């Protein structure tokens, strides 16, 4: 089901894209090898492993003619079969539908109008099920108990909303199960494959849960709340009577609860964390029990409902040591599991854990050309803002430095996209690349970042370019005051909302930054809201309440639109943009470049005609980061 817990989660993709050596003494660290740029940004050899429902095969994605395609390999065998041969663009996502067929999504040139395809495990019978121009396909329910069917959403009838269709992947036949009246944002089935729950937006700024007992009944509202306070159904209880949900109803931090769906009432809280929102809930499809609840402190953590699941995690953790463990895929019999391990200095590896044999076998290293001891640690940090808020984030220092030994380093301030998302601990090729080139990198979860509760999220309302921007600046000044950052060699770089924060950073603090890199960022709040994808329009009133109404708050939005304040900018700027970006239209970058050139500010501009919201094609990534490296080197050199 498309989650609708808080608008922060529902809109988290609006503007988003994704220690030191012991005994080091003060002074200059040992020389660090400059790793080739391509090693950070080339496609992995193999990644995104999954296991077939019958446990006979595993699948993965790997490059074919520089594009990520799907491969399948029988467990215990040495050779794999390539199922797809896409050469224009990576496959976006895929999953096993049954033991013999895989479904995958792919768009054109980054337009995000995904089409759904199917292919057999031997590579035969590839078929596009949703071959409709300018139509986006969404997966509402994989319907794991129904091997030949899947619940999808299509905005074919109305570009602003998605109608639910039950698709037969053998015949291609689609049955529409309901007509979206114009405000439904998510649909959910029970374990018997009956469509019984919908989530909607009503009156522009309220969210609503609708329910029906049988598919022949009409949907009726059972709970209506402000979008700031919400209950997000995740899946039905195993008797199909109630639902398990993530809720912040009457509280600051989101919890896992059992919810009486027929009457719209919470029954009991199953898990809550006092400091962080619960962000995910999982269950055993074989044993019909809850397994884990996920939350994120400085790292991803989980609460175990189930002893059997904890035993599997503990068994794997014991063998892989300090690496972080995630076990996202299991065979239907739950006797074999795909295991992902990773760290801040490693892309990690994939394993298969055979529970019956109690054997953990490595199947692939994701980036074996990158060596951990040459990479930098990602340190959790926190600092206070000028108004007393605590901001958590991460500081990555060039390999060989510690917080105690780092002095007067060039710094790249890196606000994340979203903005209702967050930075997380783990391997980040951008951060490692910059650290390898000698830069300290600061990532901060400014107010509005998700996972820290409702109050922290609401602190960001109508604060784009204001206190949200102050949080970014305060992090930079904190490092300067500590002596870690050289105040004359500070750059700001971000993508999507982070690109907007980059532009506002050099508007508000023109003397603080020696260079800036804006990657698919917003420059004009008015034109941005006029060019959003049509399927965001039902959420526009909420967006106006969170960011500002172009009519009622026109003065506010004008004051935080960088394009209207180019007279304050004197920082050299590099802008990169995808021509087909459906979220941040190319006009956002075009008008900024034009205004800056008229003022005589140094601006470099890179446009890729076969990209959208961020560069996915390998050769375009190389071009972008090569240009960024040169640009930062010119402006941050001592």
Q: Within its chain, how far is the Cα of 162 from the centroid?
A: 22
- C-alpha dihedral (557, 496, 465, 458), degrees to nearest 10: 90
Residue 307: how many CB atoms within 10 A of its CB?
Answer: 11
Reply yes or no on whether 365 is catalytic. no
Angle (deg, nearest 10), helices 497-508 and 467-481: 70
- Answer yes or no: are the C-beta atoms of 352 and 363 closer than 8 Å: yes
Is the omega angle on the peptide bond into residue 356 within 30 degrees of 0, that is, cis?
no
- Among the listed residues 581, 589, 616, 635, the single catalytic one is 581
Per DSSP, the three-state class of 223 is strand
Residue 550: how many CB atoms within 10 A of its CB?
Answer: 18
- Answer yes or no: are the C-beta atoms of 197 and 220 closer than 8 Å: no
191/254 Cα distance (integer angstroms): 25
Q: What is the DSSP letter of 382?
A: E
Reply yes or no on whether 613 is catalytic. yes
- Answer yes or no: are the C-beta atoms of 314 and 320 closer than 8 Å: no
- Among the listed residues 331, 343, 467, 496, the single catalytic one is 496
302/554 Cα distance (integer angstroms): 43
104/83 Cα distance (integer angstroms): 11
Reply yes or no on whether 581 is catalytic. yes
> Can you give 513-582 as a three-state secondary structure string?
CCEEEEECCCCCHHHHHHCCCHHHHHHHHHHHHHHCCCCCCHHHHHHCCHHHHHHHCCCCEEEEEECCCC
- Among the listed residues 416, 544, 565, 613, the single catalytic one is 613
Which is it for strands 255-260 and 243-247: parallel, antiparallel or unpaired? Answer: antiparallel
208/314 Cα distance (integer angstroms): 40
Q: Please name which of 120, 117, 122 lies closest in space to residue 107, comparing C-alpha atoms.
A: 117
Q: Please name which of 581, 573, 567, 572 lies closest in space to residue 611, comparing C-alpha atoms.
A: 581
Contacts of 359 (CB under 8 A, 6+ apart): 353
Residue 567: how many CB atoms within 10 A of its CB?
Answer: 11
80/62 Cα distance (integer angstroms): 11
> Can you give 392-436 as a three-state secondary structure string?
EEEEECCCCCCCCCCCCEEEEECCCCECCCCCCCCCCHHHHHHHH
Q: Please name which of 482, 487, 481, 584 lies closest in space to residue 536, comparing C-alpha atoms.
A: 584
Q: What is the DSSP letter of 614?
A: B
- Answer yes or no: are the C-beta atoms of 327 and 313 closer than 8 Å: yes
14 vs 7, 418, 541, CA distance in Å?
Answer: 11, 6, 15
Catalytic residue list: 496, 581, 613
């Amino acid at each position: 089901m498309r989650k609708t817990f808080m608008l922060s989660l529902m809109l988290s993709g609006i503007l988003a894209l994704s220690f030191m050596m012991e005994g080091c003494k003060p002074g200059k660290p040992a020389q660090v090898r400059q790793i080739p740029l391509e090693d950070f940004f080339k496609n992995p050899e193999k990644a995104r492993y999954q296991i077939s429902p019958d446990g006979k095969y595993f699948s993965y994605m790997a490059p074919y003619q520089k594009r990520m395609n799907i491969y399948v390999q029988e467990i215990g065998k040495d050779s794999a079969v390539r199922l797809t041969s896409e050469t224009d663009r990576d496959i976006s996502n895929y999953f096993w539908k049954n033991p013999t067929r895989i479904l995958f999504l792919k768009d054109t040139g980054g337009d995000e109008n995904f089409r759904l395809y199917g292919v057999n495990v031997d590579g035969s019978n590839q078929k596009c099920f949703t071959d409709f121009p300018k139509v986006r396909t969404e997966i509402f329910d994989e319907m794991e108990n129904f091997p030949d069917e899947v619940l999808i959403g299509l905005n074919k009838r109305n570009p602003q909303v998605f109608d639910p269709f039950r698709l037969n992947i053998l015949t291609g036949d689609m049955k529409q199960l309901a007509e979206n009246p114009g405000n439904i944002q998510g649909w959910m089935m029970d374990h018997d494959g009956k469509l019984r729950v919908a989530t909607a937006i009503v009156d522009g700024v309220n969210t609503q849960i609708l329910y029906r007992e049988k598919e022949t009944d009409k949907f009726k509202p059972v709970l209506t709340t402000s979008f700031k306070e919400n209950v997000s159904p995740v899946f039905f209880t195993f008797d199909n009577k109630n639902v398990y949900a993530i809720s912040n109803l009457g509280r600051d931090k989101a919890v896992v609860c059992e919810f009486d769906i027929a009457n719209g009432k919470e029954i009991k809280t199953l898990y809550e964390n006092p400091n962080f929102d619960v962000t995910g809930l999982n269950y055993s499809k074989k044993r019909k029990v809850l397994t884990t609840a996920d939350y994120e402190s400085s790292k991803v953590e989980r609460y175990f409902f189930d002893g059997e699941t904890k035993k599997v995690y503990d068994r794997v953790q014991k063998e892989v040591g300090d690496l972080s463990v995630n076990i996202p895929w299991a065979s239907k019999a739950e006797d074999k599991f795909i295991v992902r391990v990773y760290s801040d200095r490693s892309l990690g590896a994939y394993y298969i854990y055979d529970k019956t044999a109690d054997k953990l076998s490595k199947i692939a290293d994701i980036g074996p050309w990158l060596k951990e001891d040459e990479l930098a640690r990602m340190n959790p940090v926190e600092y206070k803002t000028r108004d007393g808020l605590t901001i958590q984030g991460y500081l990555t220092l060039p390999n060989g430095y510690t917080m105690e030994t780092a002095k007067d380093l060039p710094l790249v301030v890196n606000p994340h996209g979203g903005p209702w998302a967050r930075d997380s601990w783990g391997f980040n090729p951008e951060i490692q690349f910059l650290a390898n080139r000698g830069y300290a990198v600061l990532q901060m979860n400014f107010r509005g970042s998700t996972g820290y509760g409702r109050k922290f999220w609401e602190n960001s309302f109508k604060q784009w370019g204001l206190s949200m921007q102050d949080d970014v600046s305060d992090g930079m000044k904190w490092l300067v005051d500590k002596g870690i950052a050289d105040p004359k060699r500070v750059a700001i770089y971000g993508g999507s909302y982070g690109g907007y924060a980059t532009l506002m950073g050099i508007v508000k603090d023109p003397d603080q930054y020696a260079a800036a890199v804006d990657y698919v960022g917003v420059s004009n709040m008015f034109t941005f809201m006029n060019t959003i994808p049509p399927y965001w329009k039902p959420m526009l009133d909420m967006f106006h309440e969170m960011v500002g109404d172009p009519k009622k708050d026109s003065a506010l939005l004008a004051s935080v639109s960088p394009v209207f304040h180019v007279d304050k900018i004197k920082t050299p700027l590099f802008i990169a943009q995808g021509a087909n970006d459906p979220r941040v239209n190319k006009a956002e970058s075009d008008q900024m470049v034009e205004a800056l050139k008229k003022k005589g500010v140094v601006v470099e501009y890179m446009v890729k005609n076969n990209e959208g919201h961020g560069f996915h094609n390998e050769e375009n990534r190389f071009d972008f980061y090569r240009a960024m490296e040169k640009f930062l080197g010119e402006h941050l050199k001592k």
